[in-house]
Amino acid sequence: MTGSESRETVSALVSVIVPVFNRERMLLEAVACVEAQTYPRVELILVDDGSTDGTGALCDRLVAERPQTRRAIHQPNAGPGAAREAGRRAARGEYIQYLDSDDWLEPRKLEAQVAALEGDGGAGVCYCRTRERHVDEPPADRPTLRTGDRLDSIFPSFLAGRLWQTVTPLWRRTASDRIGPWTSLRVEEDMEYDARAGAEGVRPAWCPEWLAEHRHHEGLRASGGGTLDRAKLADRAKAHELIYRHALRAGVSAGAPEMQRYARELFLLSRQCGAAGLADGSRRLFALSREASGPARARGLDFRAYRAAASLCGWRLVGAVACQADRLRRPPKARIA
């Protein structure tokens, strides 16, 4: 789908799309924060992504309570991107809000961000200050990622690190249609989507209020296990390749410091893929890392030595040795509060 299909668009309506898989308790909390919105024109689309517990039945009960403003979609398990895409296809709103079932919207989120987009006709997406915390700990007034900064564009800043969490932005429907469908990737599908928005020239507007929370918990996250699960690691490699292509389309050059940083990230992921036995992905990412580094840097000793070692010992062994060295150099991660 290219986003050009004919759908009814309801002016000023916000479509809130909630993909959910096996999260009955958190789904109730997500629906409650939508119902608490001060913005009056909202439709809620629940996408049950093949749940095996009572989540699917709960979606139907929630819709039965308010059929005028709620809808449910049921599909076989296909991952968060495919679930968001099912909701996007069904959405009728002029604006689109994606809400993962474990995240949270502050009551003024939709009202404040709709007003920001109405005040800036050239912006296709509005982001806001967002907290990140564990559900068992109090929130801190420390913005996650780049949500505390005013940004004029998605690229090249995106290559220096993700700009916002999926819960943060409110999208114009017209921008969403330009970006096109969500991929079926099961990890970093949201990062690829944001990068594609940057390649399409979607310009962000900033709302400096604290309006969203990205929450961590002990339960399973769809994006978890990205370096341990071979299938998810392969998807992560594909997402990185796509993000690199989107950056090139956005005009980011190899000489830009953000591209240099991303080249190092591609090299790191190449090593991880090699260690996991994903030789083809490791080889492709290594080549992209050299390309992104620029001609002079691509001739560096580390690249030449790694390529020679991979040719001699194989991508898996050299990747495993390199990843072990990376772990020894890396300081332990602090818990996010």
Residue spans of the domains in the chain: they are 10-216, 253-329
Q: Map tokens 């390199």 to a residue.
A: 322
- Give the Cα separation of 144 and 136 in Å (integer): 18
pLDDT of 219: 62
With b meaning 16 or more CB within 10 Å and e meaning fewer, what string describes 35-54? Answer: eebebebbbbbbbbbbbeee
pLDDT of 241: 98
Annotation: CATH topology of 10-216: Spore Coat Polysaccharide Biosynthesis Protein SpsA; Chain A (3.90.550)
First and final CA of the chain: distance in angstroms?
Answer: 39
| List of E strands, 147-200 | 170-172
pLDDT of 223: 46
pLDDT of 227: 55
pLDDT of 255: 83
pLDDT of 333: 57
- Give the Cα separation of 77 and 21 in Å (integer): 8
Cα-based distances in Å from 280 to 51, 235, 272: 33, 13, 12
Residues of the chain with pLDDT below 50 are: 1-4, 222-226, 335-337
pLDDT of 1: 38
